[in-house]
Amino acid sequence: MKKRIALLGIYHETNTFSQQLTTLAEFRSGFWLEEGAITEEYRGAHHEISGIIEVMESSDEYELVSVFYAYATPSGMVTADALEGILSRLWELYDKNGPYDGILVVPHGAGVSENHPDMDGYWLQQLRARAGDQVPIIGTLDPHANVSPLMADSTNGLFPYQTNPHIDQARVGREAARMMIAILSEGRKFTQTLVQLPLAISIEQQYTSESPCLDLLQLAENVRAQHRLYSVSLLLGFPYADVAELGSAFILISETGHTPSSGSREAAGELLGYARRHLHSFNGKKLHIRDWIPLFPGMEKPVLLLDMGDNVGGGSSAQSTHLLEELDRAGLSRTFICIYDPAAVERLGNASGVPAELTVGENGYVIVPESYRLIEGKFKELTPKHGGFVNYDMGASAIVRTVNGQTIMLTSLRTVPFSLQQLLAYDLQPESFDFIVAKGVNAPIAAYKDVCRHLCKVDTPGDTSADMTRFTFHHRRSPLFPFEEPPAEAFEA
């Protein structure tokens, strides 16, 4: 008889500083996938679920039982009602489709709800109680997870993506599935250890193709090989969540009979020691748009401007016009920007001609349209990009060209800037612009690096300000760099 492996997940990156609560409707309009709809959406794609499906369906020994997966675009606190509704349906489908020999889970790791600050730890603990101690629970994580001891204690192994932008999601899904096979088919035994660092890596320093994160990843691989560990994974952390587990970390997985008994402890000591020696490299320099403007004449166009304070993938409003206004003020108008403004889309949809003026964004920025066109707002991304999504839906949308040369895409749904198809699908050529504003930090780089030789991370105001010390925290660990300078003992394993 085939071994039955459940596949399920709740995925939300929660910005507790955002005033936009995440309701059940946001999950319903995101991805609410039940049973076979999960494999239908993700088979052959570039998501971690895709990697899980690939490995499990390639084995004659296993039956992958798709249970439930819910995703909402990053935003504010998940309401208590939303979490209750999600869990009610999850447990209903879980009980209906059981029993299971193993469970593969897909949490984000930075979920926060009104009644459960450690949202992912809460539902994973509930899952462990239902499954019992003998059923292996293995999962994937977004590296922006703020991992709690409860998350680690409730699972046998967690595998975060190791790239930012996240382009290795399918690989990580395969890794999680293969560990499940190692346990159930080969009888191998593993132990997971969470190493929380007394620091939170600043968001603009979290690009894994450059230092300091590139160096951390190389260190992790060296430590894994030296101490014969099964896995050593870096977690960047998510700075916009006021929770006790805020911060960067490593997850170590040792294997009984292969890893020396002191392997995990010694590896943890090396990782903590490195973090102490390189502490200040994790807090980068923040540059305002006015710092960048004098440098633009020497840059090949188009230039990608990363709007760090209105980072949609970090839970921002997607409504800031700050960069648009600053560029306009400087006489730099050949700009593309995408703004979430359903009211403006509706006004254009009801207009009998080109309006004399149009107010867009959260600060009431007034533009003078020259022309506009309405679009359905759907497009596909078929190559590996941050998030692993294939199908995108911006809702009813409009593309407005202003009299001074700005191109503004207005959407009815907040949309992450993870795919160049957002432009190409609607005949917008990147090379026709001098500046492309992407509301993100590192995630858009995978989509735009081939068309924008110059990438400028801009320190802008908003719910995702690059300087985390600008926010007031009540629940975080202390000492935690860059808020405090941790003493030597904080780096002891």
Distance CA 58, CA 173 (A): 14
Q: Are 183 and 190 in contact (CB under 8 A)?
A: yes
Distance CA 365, CA 320 (A): 9
Distance CA 274, CA 267 (A): 11
Task: Give the mean model confidence (pLDDT) for residues 391-397.
Answer: 97
Amino acid in the structure at residue 225: A
Which pLDDT band, with edges at 50, 70 and 90, does 238 fall under? very high
Angle, helices 263-277 vs 213-226, to 10°: value is 160
| pLDDT (0 to 100) of residue 72 | 98
Residue with tokens 């170590």: 252
Residue with tokens 């009540």: 474
Distance CA 72, CA 83 (A): 12
Residues in contact with 211: Cβ distance below 8 Å, sequence separation at least 6, in sequence order: 281
Q: Are 138 and 251 in contact (CB under 8 A)?
A: no
Read off φ and ψ for residue 487, nearest 5 degrees: -75, 170
Listed in order, strand segments (DSSP E) in 197-334 are: 231-235, 249-255, 303-307
Hey, how many other C-beta atoms are within 10 angstroms of the C-beta on 349? 12
Amino acid in the structure at residue 50: S
Q: Does the pLDDT at position 468 exceed 90?
A: yes
- Largest Cα separation within the chain, whole Å, is 75
* pLDDT per position as a tens digit, 81-134: 999 999 999 999 999 999 999 999 999 999 999 999 999 999 999 999 999 999
Distance CA 199, CA 248 (A): 6
Angle 424-428-434 from CA coordinates, rounded to 5°: 120
* Count helices and strands in the chain by DSSP H and E runs: 14, 20
Task: Give the mean model confidence (pLDDT) for residues 376-381.
Answer: 97
Q: Does the pLDDT at position 162 exceed 90?
A: yes
Angle 45-240-200 from CA coordinates, rounded to 5°: 95
Task: Give the mean model confidence (pLDDT) for residues 58-79.
Answer: 98
Q: Does the pLDDT at position 493 exceed 90?
A: no
Q: What is the pTM of this model?
A: 0.95
Read off φ and ψ for residue 183, nearest 5 degrees: -75, -50
Question: Coil, strand, or helix at residue 433?
Answer: coil
Which pLDDT band, with edges at 50, 70 and 90, does 12 fall under? very high
| CA nearest neighbour of 206 among 163, 169, 249, 171 | 163
Percent of the chain with pLDDT over 90: 98
Task: Give the mean model confidence (pLDDT) for residues 298-317.
Answer: 97
| pLDDT (0 to 100) of residue 214 | 98
Question: Does the N-terminal peptide bond of residue 136 adopt cis geometry, omega within 30 degrees of 0?
Answer: no
The count of C-alpha atoms lying within 13 angstroms of the C-alpha of 148, restricted to the half-sphere facing its C-beta, is 25
Domain spans of the chain, in order of start: 3-282, 289-466
Task: Give the mean model confidence (pLDDT) for residues 269-274.
Answer: 98
Listed in order, strand segments (DSSP E) in 122-278 are: 137-141, 157-160, 190-196, 231-235, 249-255
**DSSP-derived pairing of the beta strands 365-367 and 358-360:** antiparallel
| pLDDT (0 to 100) of residue 16 | 99
Residues in contact with 400: Cβ distance below 8 Å, sequence separation at least 6, in sequence order: 348, 358, 367, 369, 371, 372, 407, 408, 409, 410
Task: Give the mean model confidence (pLDDT) for residues 388-395.
Answer: 94
Residue 447 to residues 44, 144, 181, 389, Cα–Cα distance (Å): 20, 19, 34, 12
| pLDDT (0 to 100) of residue 387 | 86
The radius of gyration of the chain from alpha carbons, rounded to an integer in Å, stands at 23
